[in-house]
Amino acid sequence: MPNTDRRTLANAIRALSMDAVQQANSGHPGAPMGMADIAEVLWRDYLQHNPANPKWPNRDRFILSNGHGSMLLYSLLHLSGYDLALEDLKQFRQLHSKTPGHPEYGYTEGVETTTGPLGQGIANAVGMALAEKTMAAQFNRPGFDIVDHYTYAFVGDGCLMEGISHEVCSLAGTQQLGKLIVFYDDNGISIDGDIDGWFTDDTPARFRSYNWQVIADVDGHDANAIIKALEQARSDSQRPTLICCKTTIGFGSPNRGGSHDCHGAPLGEEEIAETRKALNWPYDPFEIPAPIADAWNSVDKGQTLEALWQEKLAQYAHAFPEVYAEFKRRTEKALPEDWSQTKAELLAYSRRLDAPVATRKCSQNALQILGKGVPELLGGSADLAPSNLTMWSGSNAITPSHADGNYLHYGVREFGMTAIMNGMALYGGFIPYGGTFLMFMEYARNAVRMSALMNQRVIHVYTHDSIGLGEDGPTHQPVEQLTALRVTPNLHTWRPCDQFEASAAWISALERNDGPSAFILSRQNLPQQSRTAAQEEEVFKGGYILQDCDGEPELILIATGSEIMLATDAATELSQLGTKVRVVSMPCAEKFAEQSHSYQEKVLPNKIRARVAIECGHKDYWFKFVGIDGAVIGINRFGESAPADKLMELFGFTKENVVQTGLGVIKAQRH
């Protein structure tokens, strides 16, 4: 019978990891082998989870931020009793397997978030810890701490080199997230080799400056040292903790351990055989003897933990039935029961508004109604709240001493803000939204992509959407950003032209539970458009006929946002010249693409080839709507610093140019 001491149990992780990577002939065995001893202590002694119910609301969250070491997590899930069979480990990195190269949210039970882009995992963990603290403040009652758990994360040197880790860890210290515990795998190795040539930061000093508790120089291969560090970490309720663990990458490999040679490549059959001898692991590939498997299995323990919590929850439900109902609704990610009334109130308000308003203000107007009706909305801005207008009259700032709020001041941290929002959405109980200028979406680009990749209901609010912001110049004037957003799979990008379209964007984003939305909003005032009831319904389809002519149109003008005004003005003049014109508003091209072919044909009949698209952004995206016979009035270069009206004239965003371009397209069609 095999020995089931801690090192042997950790060696089960090492063996599964090196075997799976070898079978796939691809992957990263070094980190799993190096962090196995830390993982064994955390998962077997401390982690509060239930493999039989991976979605138990009060489970601890575990994030493998250094996601390239995915076999560490897959080994832990398999050994603990999650629905991840040995055969799944054998399919590591294979098509449609439950064990992809990096942990992917939604593929495997127990994987809390997609990690791979370094630094974003720890950012998600900060979001989860913030969500836990805020949910606890909102729902716990004396004697009933129904939200009471930790967030644990593993990070490597790469995560800490990435700038996003500075953004989010600084904020975590400011917010005093005492239930966030991070293990730093301080092995001194990255892909290129020994990090002394490019990463010589005093990491403990850095985190102390963030107001973290730092436990330095922990032997990551000594279970007793790890236990002592964890006990110290959990004793500090005011500060997040960084546990700096000295480890050997590829621990157990006689010839490749401690070297970058085992970072991102299989050990090889001969080296694996030598490693088995060094670890005293005399078993065949993927073989886990029953006593070791039994010592690892956490199902009974997890079910007991959840049963105790469920008992407390039942008492809570009896004592506080209304609060319990709200807790249950929010953790199940359902909209409020009276959502239809809130929606109707917002649309009624939108119809009444008749004064010109900037669409960033239209968004805030919507929040005034939605904020009262959808309490799980949790807003924020990257130090631009007065410009983004992301605050409403009921906004209540979350602070270290006041977690019972609904608004976060993120500071100038666009990337960190967006990745933190992803963590909050994954955690549940909140629908996060956050604002910045459209231009500075670029800082957050990869986290926006991750919200789409993970199908999370995150709302990205981007204002100052074009050269219309004027004198700030090309550094602040977005050109290519709209295209970047629109070509991101599973992201709905809305560029509304008035209050009704802005309200529709918010409603659509909230009703969508399988992906994020982005709002592209103007600084300048825009006129309200009149619509029939039928047109109002079609706004939600992403593209619709806003203004039409009698009979079949000769020309279709397609526009979004601030350029709708140009299109309608030009259409009026063209009509006076005897030209039949249709104006199509396209606030969300992705939603329009989801509609039936018959609806798309109704709005944009294939036989009408004379088309002009108008938008203050890069031209290329719009050619799929206007075709090679149409024209696009857009921008294929960077802007200039000047008053907005001068820039609009310079770049051809004038009624006269739209008219002449439209007539030119019609003439070309006739020839």
pLDDT tens profile 318-331: 999 999 999 999 99
**DSSP 8-state code for residue 588:** -
Q: Give residue 3's pLDDT.
A: 55
Is position 292 annotated in a ligand binding site?
no
For 651, the 3-state DSSP assignment is coil
Q: Give residue 4's pLDDT.
A: 72
Is position 367 annotated in a ligand binding site?
no
Cα 448 from chain centre: 6
Side-chain-facing half-sphere of 316: CA atoms under 13 Å: 21
Is position 242 annotated in a ligand binding site?
no
Is position 282 annotated in a ligand binding site?
no
pTM score of the predicted model: 0.98
CATH of 540-670, one of 3.90.550.10, 3.40.640.10, 3.40.50.920, 3.30.365.10: 3.40.50.920
Domain limits, the chain:
6-303, 338-520, 540-670
Is position 187 annotated in a ligand binding site?
yes
Q: Which residue stretches of the chain have pLDDT < 50? A: 1-2
Is position 617 annotated in a ligand binding site?
no
The Cα–Cα gap between 537 and 286 comes to 57
Is position 582 annotated in a ligand binding site?
no
CB of 525 closer than 8 Å to CB of 354: no
Which tokens go with 72? 């560490």
Q: Give residue 405's pLDDT.
A: 98
Is position 351 annotated in a ligand binding site?
no
Is position 117 annotated in a ligand binding site?
yes
Is position 360 annotated in a ligand binding site?
yes
The Cα–Cα gap between 143 and 106 comes to 35
Identify which of 389, 521, 524 has the alpha carbon closest to the alpha carbon of residue 470: 524
H or E element that contains 169: helix 163-174
Q: What is the fold, at CATH topology level, of the domain defined by 338-520?
A: Rossmann fold (3.40.50)
Supply the mean pLDDT for the chain.
Answer: 97
The vertex-149 CA angle with 146 and 151, nearest 5°, equals 145
Return the active site residues.
Answer: 414
Q: How far apart are the first and last CA of the chain?
A: 88
Is position 523 annotated in a ligand binding site?
yes
Is position 503 annotated in a ligand binding site?
no
Which CATH code for domain 6-303?
3.40.50.970
